[in-house]
Amino acid sequence: MESSSDEEEVITFIKVISEKYNPENFPYGPGVMVLPSPPGSPVKDRLFLPNILVLNHRGINKAGDRSDIEAFCAHVVELDLSHNQFNDWGEICTIVSSIPHLDFLNLSMNPLSGVELEPSMAEVFSRVRRLVLINTHVSWDTVHMLTQHMPELEELFLCLNGFNTVSESQTSCPSLRLLQITDNQLQKWAEVRKFGLLYPSLSALVLANNSVDSVGDTQETLQHLFPNLHSINLNNSGLSKWDDIERLNFFPKLKEVKAKGIPLLQSYSTQERRSLLLAQLPSVTVLNGSAVSAGEREDAERFFIRYYQDFPEQELPERYHILVSKYGPLAPLAEVDLSPRCTVVDVRWGERVEAVSLRLEQTVGDLKKQLKALLQLPTNGIRLFYIDREMCSVLGPEEMKCSSRALHSYSIRDGDEILVVPKAKSRCSSSDL
pLDDT of residue 351: 84
Listed residue (239, 182, 178) closest to 209, CA to CA: 182
pTM of the model: 0.73
Q: Cβ–Cβ contacts within 10 Å for residue 142, how many?
A: 20
User: Can you give the residue ranges of every domain in the chain?
Assistant: 4-327, 342-432
pLDDT of residue 34: 47
User: Which contacts qualify for 299-302: CB closer than 8 Å, 24 or more apart?
Assistant: 299/275, 300/274, 300/275, 300/276, 301/326, 301/327, 302/327, 302/330
pLDDT of residue 330: 86
What are the C-alpha distances in Å from 416 to residues 355, 391, 397, 412?
Answer: 10, 10, 11, 7
pLDDT of residue 301: 96
Q: Say if 4-327 and 342-432 have the same CATH topology.
A: no
pLDDT of residue 13: 96
CA–CA separation, 353 and 342 (whole Å): 19
CA–CA separation, 156 and 132 (whole Å): 6
* Topology annotation, domain 342-432: Ubiquitin-like (UB roll) (3.10.20)
Pick the CATH number of 4-327 from 3.40.50.1000, 1.50.10.20, 3.40.50.970, 3.80.10.10: 3.80.10.10
pLDDT of residue 48: 63
Give the chain's residues under pLDDT 70. Answer: 1-8, 23-48, 334-341, 378-380, 425-433
Residue 157, sorted as left (phi over 0), alpha (psi -120 to 50) or beta, turns out to be: beta
CA–CA separation, 418 and 416 (whole Å): 7
Q: Cβ–Cβ contacts within 10 Å for residue 130, how many?
A: 17
Listed residue (151, 149, 207) closest to 178, CA to CA: 207
| CB 256 within 8 Å of CB 230 | yes
| CB 156 within 8 Å of CB 180 | yes
Q: What is the dihedral of CA 374, 376, 382, 387, to 10 degrees?
A: -50
pLDDT of residue 338: 55
